[in-house]
């Protein structure tokens, strides 16, 4: 319930801020992950507390368009699955922890806000056939948080200007500086929101997130093959729709080909039926 209360607090703040079962190793795609590492280095000026505040503001912006599902039982279930995969990710801890929420929208989508706030729509939940596919969707979004893709989407010159203004404001409390800083920070919020909700991430970022999701699912005891199953559904629907996750998570067919190569020899484990039952008990 504490996690659900976090989102109620976030809604109230809107006016203010605008068992490891599989042992198979999933080797990194060197070129893709080297690019991610370079991008992470470029965001070194953004502290974890700043990342959290920026992510909270972005989440608030998303929540202003899509209300939070008023179903505490479902919210708790999604949080439990999300926390399970987050603990096994390459970034198990963030400044204020991971928070997962279900949005009352039938458009299939999921959003990874900087700092660890991850929102998934009811439509995306309905696209999932079981808990493993839900875990796959959440693991992919957790990977975006771990790689700081939201922060890396900010125009570098804009954030450099934010950092400069912040330092000036701290050294000299002159008139106009706080307002200028607020304007710049608001611009960064809009940059991240556009990347998450409108434009999506690059092919390199998406593939790196898939690779990490496979490793995370394996470490968490879920079937990594669930990611391939979910991507296959997305490819099928992508031909008919160009909205939601099909717009913000592009290149799905290519992602599916690569993921299938990684998971082709895997088989479901003995806990699959238990997870399937848990998933079916939810009112999705």
Q: Is the pTM of this model over 0.85?
A: no
53 vs 133: CA distance, rounded Å: 30
233 vs 238: CA distance, rounded Å: 8
pLDDT at 23: 38
Residue 118, helix vs strand vs coil: strand
HSE of 35, CA atoms in CB hemisphere, 13 A: 12
4 vs 71: CA distance, rounded Å: 9
pLDDT at 79: 98
Which residues of the chain fall short of a pLDDT of 50?
A: 1-2, 8-9, 11-24, 39, 41-43, 181
174 phi/psi in degrees, rounded to 5: -95, 155
Pairing of strands 117-121, 99-103: parallel
Residue among 24, 82, 101, 56 at smallest CA distance from 266:
24
pLDDT at 13: 41
**Widest Cα–Cα separation across the chain:** 65
Residue among 251, 202, 204 at smallest CA distance from 231:
251
pLDDT at 166: 64
pLDDT at 17: 35
3-state percent breakdown (helix, strand, coil) of the chain, nearest 5: 65, 5, 30
Q: How many helices (H) and strands (E) does the chain have?
A: 15, 3
DSSP tag of 69: P
Position of tokens 């690779």? 211
Residue among 183, 263, 268, 175 at smallest CA distance from 221:
268
Position of tokens 């939940």? 125
**What would the pLDDT profile of 151-191 be if each residue is shown by its tens digit?**
887 765 566 666 666 665 655 555 555 555 456 567 778 88
HSE of 230, CA atoms in CB hemisphere, 13 A: 30
Give the CA-trace dihedral at 261, 113, 247, 132, to 10 degrees: 40
pLDDT at 111: 95
- Name 252's Cβ contacts closer than 8 Å, sequence gap at least 6: 231, 234, 235, 238, 246
Phi-psi region of 148 (alpha: psi -120 to 50; beta: other; left: phi over 0): left
Q: How many beta carbons lie within 10 A of that of residue 241, not counting itself?
A: 13
**What would the pLDDT profile of 117-157 be if each residue is shown by its tens digit?**
999 999 999 999 999 999 999 999 999 999 999 888 776 55
Residue among 271, 267, 265, 272 at smallest CA distance from 26:
265
pLDDT at 159: 63
């Amino acid at each position: 319930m504490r996690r659900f209360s976090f989102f109620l607090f976030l809604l109230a703040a809107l006016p203010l801020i605008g068992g490891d079962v599989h042992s198979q190793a999933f080797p990194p795609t060197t070129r893709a992950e080297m690019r991610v590492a370079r991008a992470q280095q470029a965001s070194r000026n953004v502290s974890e507390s700043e990342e959290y505040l920026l992510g909270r503001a972005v989440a608030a912006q998303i929540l202003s368009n899509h209300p939070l599902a008023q179903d505490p039982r479902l919210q708790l279930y999604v949080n439990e699955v999300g926390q399970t995969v987050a603990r096994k990710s390459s970034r198990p801890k963030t400044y204020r922890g991971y928070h997962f929420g279900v949005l009352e929208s039938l458009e299939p989508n999921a959003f990874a806000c900087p700092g660890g706030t991850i929102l998934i729509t009811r439509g995306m939940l309905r696209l999932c056939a079981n808990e493993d596919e839900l875990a796959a969707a959440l693991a992919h979004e957790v990977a975006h948080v771990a790689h700081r893709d939201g922060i890396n989407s900010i125009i570098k010159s804009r954030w450099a200007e934010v950092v400069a203004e912040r330092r000036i404001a701290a050294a000299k409390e002159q008139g106009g500086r706080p307002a200028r800083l607020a304007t710049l920070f608001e611009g960064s919020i809009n940059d991240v929101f556009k990347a998450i909700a409108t434009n999506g991430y690059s092919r390199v970022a998406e593939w790196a997130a898939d690779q990490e999701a496979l490793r995370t699912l394996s470490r968490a005891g879920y079937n990594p093959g669930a990611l391939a199953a979910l991507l296959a559904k997305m490819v099928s629907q992508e031909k008919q729709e160009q909205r939601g996750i099909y717009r913000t998570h592009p290149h799905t067919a290519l992602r599916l080909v690569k993921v299938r190569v990684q998971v082709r020899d895997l088989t479901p484990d003995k806990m699959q039926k238990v997870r399937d039952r848990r998933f079916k008990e939810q009112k999705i």
